[in-house]
Amino acid sequence: MNFVVIGGDAAGMSAASRAKRNLQDWNITVLEQSGDVSYSACGMPYNIADPGRELDDLVVRQAHVFREKQGIDLRTGHCVEFIDRQGKTVTGKDLQGTEFRITYDKLLIATGASPIMPDLPGFDLEGVMALKSLESGRRIKDFISSRDVKKAVIIGMGYIALEMSESLRARNIEVSMVKPRPVFLPWMNAQLSEIVKEEVNSHGVTLHLGQQIKGIEKNGDNYLGVICEGMDIDCQMVITAVGVRPNSQIAANAGLELGLQGAIAVDRTLMTSDEDIYAAGDCADAYHVVTGEKTWIPLALRANRAGWAVADNLSGKKVELQGLAGTAVFKVFDLQVARTGLSLPEAARFGFDPVEVVIKSRSRAHAHPGSHPIFVQMVGDRKSGRLLGTQLVGKEGVAHRINAAAVALHQKMSVKAFSQCDLAYAPPFSPVWDPMLTAANQILKKM
């Protein structure tokens, strides 16, 4: 039997490695269009901040290890261009332009997602880059060093954009951030969003909200001009971070069903509309554990878990993934920012009767040195009593607290049940009433 995987990062290599363990008599072939596999893309902003580190430090497992120790036929520099579902073959070209054709019995599409590049003049100029692949990280890091970049513009204000603002400031680069929409973090509670905004401003990052971008122009030999409707910004480098879209075109061309935002539609076993083809990672959709509806939220853990599930299903052990809650955490300067589940507007949009509270507590017991304020937003459903979502902001104690709420969402716990959880207490780590419990108790009063 031939198992062919298109894509060699998180989902693809997880599936290939597990399949090789479970199905030792199968031929496992991975086709990756770049030269890199199995790397920590989420670590790139932090690596770029340190000119002394190599980007290759982020590679978790080198390609030769998969080939020599695991017996996986890993072919880098191989771009798949077409899937023939009737003939059960994939065709494409390698870096030398040589065509290849490979037959499969089972196929996994794990092509990930690509950065959205605005369809505006100048976004193809040298010095205008997006951060997604390891190669793009190398280009950005090399460009900063070779051009001695002192001024940069980041277009967008999402997770990657904010992480990159910190990364560039760590290298003493003047940073301006621009976005067309007038709201800083539209998915976040306004009070918490303002705290994050103040943190970014306090570290010398200039924010330009509500600025419609008209294009980018070359301004002399080493400078670019970001042209907005109300202003122009000169810089040496532009980072675009306005989001990503699923790499699903190859699936669409093959006639596979697509779902939300153009992601490949899969069931809970990761099977597509073709029983011999699976899809996993950022190219595929998922189910939301709170709403029960389809969603598309690119997440690293989901990609790895989905790859394992595909391999298990191929080996006859039926695995259905429950779904995801959209749990995420990121660092922006001295703040930790986290979320899981639904925001208040999202909950209303899905038909819940949502109630929201925002509380301010402390990361440690009030008399313990080093304590910092911590803000918790919590959303519950008045009709059912269910916990629907949580957001946290603070200088410490945020990243792991969000996991308690995520577990509660996966178990469909009520706010009342969550408020009775036995959360750990010691003065260096929490008040007696953990901030999560305080928020739960307060929202119970409103519900």
Residue 434 and residue 349 in one domain? yes
- 43 lies in some domain: no
What pairing do the DSSP bridges indicate for beta strands 387-394 and 335-341?
Answer: antiparallel
- 400 lies in some domain: yes
- 46 lies in some domain: no
Span 68-74, mean pLDDT? 92
Q: How does residue 130 score in pLDDT terms, banded at 50, 70 and 90?
A: very high
Residue 372 and residue 434 in one domain? yes
Residue 128 and residue 94 in one domain? no
CA gap 240, 213 in Å, rounded: 12
Q: How far is CA 34 from the centre of its chain?
A: 20
Helix, strand, coil: what percent of the chain each, to 5? 30, 30, 40
Q: Identify the helix (H) or strand (E) that includes residue 102.
A: strand 99-103
Which one of the listed residues 42, 228, 283, 421 is annotated catalytic?
42
Q: What is the pLDDT of residues 229-286, one digit of tens each?
A: 989 999 999 999 999 999 999 999 999 999 999 999 999 999 999 999 999 999 999 9
Tally of structural domains, the chain: 3
Amino acid at 178: V
CA gap 100, 114 in Å, rounded: 24
pLDDT at residue 154 above 90?
yes
- 230 lies in some domain: yes
Residue 64 and residue 202 in one domain? no
Does the annotation mark 42 as catalytic?
A: yes
Residue 27 and residue 109 in one domain? yes
Average pLDDT, the chain: 96
Span 423-429, mean pLDDT? 96
pTM: 0.95
Q: How does residue 354 score in pLDDT terms, banded at 50, 70 and 90?
A: very high
Residue 271 and residue 205 in one domain? no
- 50 lies in some domain: no
Residue partners of 173: CB distance under 8 A and separation at least 6: 144, 149, 150, 151, 152
Sheet with 78-84: list strands edge to edge: 78-84, 89-94, 99-103
CA distances to 38, 56, 369 from 391, rounded to whole Å, are 30, 33, 25
pLDDT at residue 222 above 90?
no
Residue 212 and residue 295 in one domain? no
What residue numbers bound the domain in which 165 lies?
117-240
Query: By percentage, how much of the chain surpasses pLDDT 70?
Result: 100
CATH of residue 186: 3.50.50.60
- For residue 335, what are its two tokens? 């703040």
